[in-house]
Structure 1
Amino acid sequence: MKRYQTFITFLALGLLLSCQYEFPEPDLLTPDSGQADFTKMVTIGSSITAGVMDAALYNRSQQNSFAVILANQMKEVGGGVFNVPEIDAEVGDLILTPTGGGLGRLILTVNRNTGSILPSPIIPGNPITPFTGDKSSINNFGINGLSLAGALLPASGDLQNPTHPLFNPYYARFASNPGMSTPIEDAAAALADGGTFFVFWLGKNDVLPYALTGGAIPELLTSDQDFSQRYQAALGTMLQANTEAKGALGNIPNINELPYFSTVTWDALPLPEALANIANAVYSDYNAGLDNLVTAGMLSEAERDLRKINFIPGQNGFIIEDKTLTDFNGNGLPSIRQSNINDKVALTTGQVLGQIIGNDPNMIVGVTVPVGDQYILLPSEQELMTEKINAFNQIIATAVSSNSDRLVLVDAKNLMDNINQGLVNANSVAVTNSISPPNGAFSTDGVHPNARGSAVLANHFIQSINDKWGSSIPMTNPNSFMGNDLPR
């Protein structure tokens, strides 16, 4: 049976668009630092601050992080050298798998058999190697996968205990004292050593891992109390490191809106009429069992209608696990249904949908074998995500308000919302919430911005900083930065 490669074929449309961009008019304002001092900037954050793109940290991505772009623009108003712990990897190590497994960054590739355009890893990847430069001169403490707990605990860099849940090889490679130092201590030490300004963007990874596992592991969500305590401790360390330094704090974007959850659509399963009929026959007893439960008063009609399975010729929702359904496994009825418009589908679903299990033509993922919980954000999980993000962002906003003379809030959530609504452009060129070249702002992993998106983000930081302290850091031109590479 044919494998149904339905993954982001619409990207081909983007390739037909012109890759020519308009450039901005020269800045009319004379660059000025205003009431802030940008002589030495220190950044602390997670993967976006580090420059992860295409599910990897590699040379080109690291040098095009929003932090590097921001630092380059600050040079126009007295900013100094901005050193990063060079990764020294042309390809990088794939980070959206548990181990990377020798695979490198994702690139768009054309399936020669189906014509579909898929993100696929480069083989081989580059292993994560220790940073051999001067650790004391680092400015960018952006660390892939860094949570608030990881920022505060030495286990993040403990090379003697790499199995610890908080161990982070991206920090261990440049920790000042592996197993003893913490990321926030190292960043604070850099700020204390002549630092004048800092960017603090932690908190995303107290939500994102839950989303990337489809809400299957609730323990990955940080409690509100722990988030508040850890955030205050981490931020307090930075504020105390240099009581004169000012800073910009980013909040948490709406993760539900990431193209990681919109590139593969809920109806990504195409079936010819013959196969649709066969699949419907497979589920005839299941559907009849639902009707019997309604008659017995054990199931509402609304839930029955949600659970009933009906395939049609053409595009279909696929079979998924749904742990929120009433449990009737004792009656021989699994907790499954077809995906619908209210579900968020992980980008990685495109790699499994339509796969045949064990060479058995009757075992087709999404048709006779349900797609696992880890691939789908159910409506209830999306609501929980929204509640968490709103609660965490309120904690962040309160922290800024409590130190309003020294801090400015950079509303990354608002920027993401505006991109999602099509309200953002770079000098009349649209910036889209997609991985589709040339206008997509996100790299091929659907989570991290590409270089062009990072430039848009850097401008968002610049605007907030300029508005707060009357500075005139010049904006960069996002259209001079690369989007995603064209498919190979």
Structure 2
Amino acid sequence: MKLNNNIWLLALILIGFTACESDDDSLSDPLIEDPQTGPTPVYTSGTADFSTFVAIGNSLTAGVSDGTLFKRGQDVSFPNVLSQQFALAGGGTFTQPLIGDDIGGLLFGGTQIAGPRLIFNPAAQAPEPINGTPTTEVTSITPGPYNNMGVPSAKSFHLLAPGYGNVANFPAANPYFIRMASSPNATVLEDALAQNPTFFSLWIGANDVLGYATSGADGTNPITDQATFDGAMTAIVSSLATSSPNGIISNIPNVTDAPYFTTVPFAPLDPSDPNFGSQIPTLNGIFGQLNQVFAFLGVPERSIVFSQTAASAVVINDESLANLSAQITGVLNASPTFPAFVQSFGLPAAAAPIVANLFGVVYGQARQANANDLLVLPSRSTIGIVNEAQSTFLQTSGLPEALANQFSVEGVSLPLEDKWVVIPTELVEIQNATAAFNQTISNLATQFDLAFFDVNTFFNGVATNGFQSGSAFLTADYVTGGTFSLDGFHPSPRGYSLVVNQMIGLINTKYGSNLPTVNSVDYTGVYLD
């Protein structure tokens, strides 16, 4: 039972796979007359100095899209595109720690540890990994200096951490920074400052909360505590502003505006799917027993029912609920009809205590999802699949293979684990942390008189109303929207062009420059190869 993938191809042709139009999105430019070539625009930096531009941040700065870093993606990273506009007004060369191929991913000692990138397969109507094996070896260190100091996976405090690029510290060290660190114990900030930047961009902090969100808030990647975040950000911004008073700082987008958290519906179980629909009577019979227990225990809202006429919600494990495992087992063991129910599955009546215990363990915190739950993007390939580990466990507990499989279907008979779902209490944690972190970033931008890009508000607008950029209309819809790449969180090249244009407008306003914007239709929304 797999989730229906028909959403992928709805309007794919509209997002423009390659540049096919030419719009003049430039700002109004002053002109000078050349007797040979005619009028040409004159661009100035205003009070800013773009001669040495250094960009500091995480994967959003490095140019990650489609799940990894690869050369074509780096070519259209927002700092690289921004540097090309800066070059029109005195900006110098801009270097990046390029990945060695367009496959993406990394090797460490010859073993693949990341990648490859995703591409969209129209025939399958779904994303898939590109064919090929990564060739970029982490231990082949090529120290900079690099103008693009974006380090994928970095959190705020990582920019200050000695040894974050020390190969001897791997896997605690960051493999991307290992490749580019000037020395094993250099910090990201030190390597950025060593270039004496005259203008900088800083976009850091998303991973301080995003790691918690993308893991379904299961606790394996906790939110950075506020004191640590504030201390790190203050140290970073004050150091950069001391080196150069000219720069732009960006805040953290809200997870609810990214398709990673909004694409998979809470009710994807379609009764017209023969693999699922044919099982509904049996499933409702099984859960009917459990629902009676829920009613007896005073929690009828936990009842699980699958509709034969409409899409049904998946079953999830909600750790915020009281764990009723022991109570469920106790009620079932006390029920005079439960042994007969167990026998209806071909099991002996003597197996009733074992099954009662399994029901308690599996459904102690179970409920069906609702519109307030966010299913993360990878869950779409998990829902409806037999969990082999759970099936094996049930078989060792005495259930035959067919029955063990029937009770191990992800999101149907087996509640989805915490890692697949952000429940409302977890979303509140994420939103509160994002708001607090963004207040810190805003305060620092004001304190050090920097241009400030409110990414949070901008992407909320894209998600809510869409955004017109020249002849391209972009939304936050997965695949068809054009703003986000196939990983569901990082922008596509076209999405990064929006970031560039917003930054240019803010820089022009803050520093009196007159840089031109870029044409978004010159940048692809989805890679097909």
TM-score (norm 2): 0.82
Aligned to 2:315: 319
Residue pair 1:43, 1:49 contacting (<8 A) in 2 also: yes
3-state SS in 2 of match to 1:286: helix
Alpha-carbon separation, structure 2, partners of 1:134 and 1:105: 22
Which of 266, 282, 286 is the matching residue for 2:286?
282
Task: Report the Cα offset of residue 88 of structure 1.
Answer: 1.2
**Cα-to-partner distance string for 1:48-97 (whole Å, 9 max, x where unaligned):** 100001001001011111111111111111111111011112201189xx
Which of 38, 50, 73 is the matching residue for 1:61?
73
Alpha-carbon separation, structure 1, partners of 2:113 and 2:147: 30
Q: Please tell me whether residue 14 in structure 1 is matched to residue 16 in structure 2.
A: no
Alpha-carbon separation, structure 1, partners of 2:222 and 2:261: 18
Task: Report the Cα offset of residue 177 of structure 1.
Answer: 0.3
Q: Please tell me whether residue 480 in structure 1 is matched to residue 486 in structure 2.
A: no
Residue pair 2:26, 2:516 contacting (<8 A) in 1 also: no
Aligned to 1:422: 465
Alpha-carbon separation, structure 1, partners of 2:283 and 2:198: 64
Moved more, 145-154 or 212-221: 212-221
**Unpaired runs of 5+ in structure 2?**
31-42, 329-359, 389-400
TM-aligned CA distance change 1:91 to 1:478, over 3 Å: same
Alpha-carbon separation, structure 1, partners of 2:73 and 2:506: 24
Alpha-carbon separation, structure 1, partners of 2:241 and 2:215: 34
3-state SS in 2 of match to 1:249: strand
In the alignment of these two chains, the number of paired residues is 457
Report the AA paired with residue 464 of structure 2. Answer: Q
Aligned to 1:233: 235
Task: Report the Cα offset of residue 108 of structure 1.
Answer: 2.0
3-state SS in 1 of match to 2:24: coil
Report the AA paired with residue 260 of structure 2. Answer: Y
Aligned to 1:271: 271
Task: Report the Cα offset of residue 47 of structure 1.
Answer: 0.1
Task: Report the Cα offset of residue 6 of structure 1.
Answer: 2.1
Report the AA paired with residue 526 of structure 2. Answer: N
TM-score (norm 1): 0.89
TM-aligned CA distance change 1:25 to 1:397, over 3 Å: closer
TM-aligned CA distance change 1:161 to 1:102, over 3 Å: closer
Aligned to 1:184: 189
Percentage identity across paired residues of the two chains = 30
TM-aligned CA distance change 1:285 to 1:101, over 3 Å: farther
Q: Please tell me whether residue 335 in structure 1 is matched to residue 341 in structure 2.
A: no
Residue pair 2:55, 2:200 contacting (<8 A) in 1 also: yes
Residue pair 1:108, 1:119 contacting (<8 A) in 2 also: yes
**Cα-to-partner distance string for 1:141-166 (whole Å, 9 max, x where unaligned):** 001001112111123112112132xx
Residue pair 1:267, 1:315 contacting (<8 A) in 2 also: yes
Counterparts of residues 126-145 of structure 1 (less than 5 Å): 126-130=134-138, 135-145=143-153
Residue pair 2:211, 2:221 contacting (<8 A) in 1 also: no
Moved more, 368-377 or 264-273: 264-273
Counterparts of residues 12-91 of structure 1 (less than 5 Å): 12-17=9-14, 19=16, 21=21, 23-24=23-24, 26-30=26-30, 31-91=43-103
Report the AA paired with residue 380 of structure 1. Answer: T
Residue pair 2:25, 2:518 contacting (<8 A) in 1 also: no
3-state SS in 2 of match to 1:325: coil
Residue pair 1:37, 1:196 contacting (<8 A) in 2 also: yes
Report the AA paired with residue 441 of structure 2. Answer: I
Task: Report the Cα offset of residue 435 of structure 1.
Answer: 2.9
Alpha-carbon separation, structure 1, partners of 2:171 and 2:478: 33
Report the AA paired with residue 262 of structure 1. Answer: T
Report the AA paired with residue 312 of structure 1. Answer: S
Q: Please tell me whether residue 217 in structure 1 is matched to residue 219 in structure 2.
A: yes
3-state SS in 1 of match to 2:9: helix
Alpha-carbon separation, structure 2, partners of 1:61 and 1:36: 28
Task: Report the Cα offset of residue 271 of structure 1.
Answer: 2.7
Q: Please tell me whether residue 348 in structure 1 is matched to residue 378 in structure 2.
A: yes
Report the AA paired with residue 397 of structure 1. Answer: S
Report the AA paired with residue 348 of structure 1. Answer: P
Aligned-pair Cα RMSD in Å = 2.2
Counterparts of residues 63-462 of structure 1 (less than 5 Å): 63-93=75-105, 101=113, 103-109=115-121, 117-130=125-138, 135-164=143-172, 167-178=173-184, 180-190=185-195, 192=196, 195-217=197-219, 220-240=222-242, 242=243, 244-272=244-272, 273-294=277-298, 299=299, 304-305=300-301, 307-313=302-308, 314-332=310-328, 333=360, 334-358=364-388, 360=402, 361-362=405-406, 363-404=408-449, 407-437=450-480, 439-462=481-504
Residue pair 2:27, 2:515 contacting (<8 A) in 1 also: no
Task: Report the Cα offset of residue 21 of structure 1.
Answer: 4.8
